[in-house]
Amino acid sequence: MTASPLESPPLLETENLVRVFGTGENRVAALQGLTFEIHQGESVAIIGKSGSGKSTLMHLLALLDQPTSGVVAMRGQVVSDLKPKQIAKVRNTTFGFVFQQFFLNAHETVLENATLPLKIAKVPKAERHRQGTEILEMLEMGDKLKAKAINLSGGQQQRVSIARALINSPEILFADEPTGNLDSETSAVVEDILFGLNEQGQTLIVVTHDEDLAAKCARQIRIQDGQIIEDSVVNA
């Protein structure tokens, strides 16, 4: 987990990552010794069928779960064995999440939903609103600041969830089936937003079974039965 003096360590890396669920006859090895690196600014698709282990891998990379053995490191420092409060701090300040489900508070406004992480971080209200307005305007939601989330279309809700994911200026943006609940036209808009952010330097990790979406990433890590069966640069 160390880099030479002339090299910066990978933004994110794993070493012999294993995750086992259950015990005895019910024991299931969801991940079986995965080792790889992700560098700043990459767009990486983690691809696999249902049950392949791709979601388990994302949960470990994003510190939403802990490995049975092996480690996750950021810039050469192991983070997977930190204490819960330390893990929460790393997760809240370093990662942004966009999910298939939008997870918005239906009866709160667009601005309130987008700035929730700042509220949790106890950022003053005026500053929360300034940052939230700026990001929502970037995502063409500036005219919906006071609209309730329940009154938005699916595509608009996903834009709000992207705004919320970006509000803390995360180093890594995780997108788990981000277009899974959207029609094809709206999916294309959301994909344009995500890959536009990547072109500006945002590290993007997309978890998907959608081959078309995966093909838009510069790199594909294909998972099957808890193992990497392919790791290739496809769109440099």
How many Cβ atoms sit within 10 Å of the Cβ of residue 54? 26
Give the angle subtended at the CA of 172 by the CAs of 186 and 149, to the nearest 5°: 40
The pTM is what? 0.90
Considering the chain, what percentage of its residues have pLDDT values greater than 90?
78
For 12-233, give the CATH class.
alpha beta
> Which amino acid, one-letter code, is at 152?
L
Q: Counting beta carbons within 10 angstroms of the beta carbon of residue 64, is it exposed (0 to 12), middle (13 to 18) or buried (19 or more)?
A: middle
DSSP 100: S
Q: Please compute the mean of the pLDDT values over residues 43-49 and round it to a whole number.
A: 95
pLDDT beyond 80 at 1: no
- Which of 122-154 are b and which e, b meaning 16 or more Cβ less than 10 Å from the residue's Cβ? ebeeeebbebbbebbebbebeebbeebbeebee
Task: Give the integer Cα–Cα distance in Å for 221 and 84.
Answer: 28
pLDDT tens digits along 115-169? 999 998 899 999 999 999 999 999 989 999 999 999 999 999 999 999 999 998 8
Q: Please compute the mean of the pLDDT values over residues 23-38 and round it to a whole number.
A: 93
Q: Would you state the pLDDT for residue 9?
A: 87
